[in-house]
Amino acid sequence: MTQPLSSEIPGPLPPAEARVRVHVPARHNPRLQKIMAAVQQDEELYALWHAQNVNAVTRLGMTDHGPVHMQLVANIALRLLRLLMEQGITPNIVRDHGLTADDAEVVVVLAALLHDVGMSIHRVNHEEYSLIVADQKLRELLPVAYPDAGVRTIVKSDILHAIIAHRKDGHPLTLEAGVVRVADALDMTQGRSRIPFERGSTSIHSISAMAISKVEIVAGEEKPIEVRIAMCNAAGVFQVDALLREKLKGSGLEPYVRIVASVVPEAEGCGKPLAPQIVL
């Protein structure tokens, strides 16, 4: 999976015609299609994504946490979920509540799109703030696809669970929450760290992320999902070991995901050494 969109230092809220159009493949899922149509027309939601990115990038010097990140995580989450379901693994909203695979897709996509909205308030405790902001947005977004209040409440509860469970010490209780947690960590290619790196950051976070050339998610043979990571150099091991493995641990997806990381110096995006000298 390559970086489909570029990340830039956020400025003022862009006009509608200059905004990133966030989308997912909503094939054969009319509920998800309705939800995404509402998402794409939601001015407030886009402003929240912009605000969370300003806090992350401009004020804290972190990696991209705006609409580009939302787009990537939502698509990765949907890819993971569909691969798991193709192997006969049942989402919890189906098993526990008698809903459908379409509803499970709605849960992972909306949780992915809303998991960082609390960063519009502050990075510290942003997962808890995300619950507050997301609860209000879900009251506006879900009725277009869920006219029944009871079903709508079940779907919203599982979305909010997936949001809070993406934090470092989160304990996902559903397959859908584990998918969102792992998908967040899989947004790890070079574009993810380009802003802080080009602004002079030479931390292990920025250097290791710049070493990740490509992430590919495919159906596996030993396990339902194989994540293939191409690294320009061994610095990328930090992303794989300290960040991705930590998110996978306790996600509930451990039996289903195999990670294969390889150093491929000739891979796309690999060039001269990223940090030939570090001065402390």
Residue 80 has pLDDT above 80, yes or no: yes
Residue 25 lies in a domain: yes
Instruction: Note the pLDDT of residue 235.
Output: 84
Average pLDDT of the segment spanning 134-160: 98
Instruction: Note the pLDDT of residue 190.
Output: 65
Residues 92-144 pLDDT 10s: 999 999 999 999 999 999 999 999 999 999 999 999 999 999 999 999 999 99
**Rounded CA gap, 74 and 107, in Å?**
10
Find out whether 186 and 244 touch, Cβ atoms under 8 Å.
yes
Residues 219-266 pLDDT 10s: 999 999 999 999 998 888 888 887 898 899 999 999 999 999 999 888
Residue 232 lies in a domain: yes
Percent of the chain clearing pLDDT 90 (strictly above): 67
Whether residue 252 sits in one domain with residue 113: no
pTM recorded for the entire structure: 0.89
Token pair listed for 134: 């997301």
Residues 24-58 pLDDT 10s: 999 899 999 999 999 999 999 999 999 999 999 88
Of 163, 181, 199, the residue that ends a domain is: 181
Q: What is the mean pLDDT of the chain?
A: 88
The parent domain of residue 236 ranges over: 190-263
CATH of residue 250? 3.30.300
Of 130, 159, 181, the residue that ends a domain is: 181
Neighbouring residues of 279: CB distance < 8 A, sequence distance ≥ 6:
none
Whether residue 122 sits in one domain with residue 75: yes
Whether residue 136 sits in one domain with residue 44: yes
Please state the domain count of the chain: 2
Whether residue 47 sits in one domain with residue 108: yes
Residue 276 has pLDDT above 50, yes or no: no
Q: What is the DSSP string of 167-229?
A: STT----SHHHHHHHHHHHH--SHHHHHHHHHTT--SHHHHHHHTEEEEEEEE-SSSSEEEEE
Whether residue 153 sits in one domain with residue 87: yes
Residue 205 has pLDDT above 60, yes or no: yes
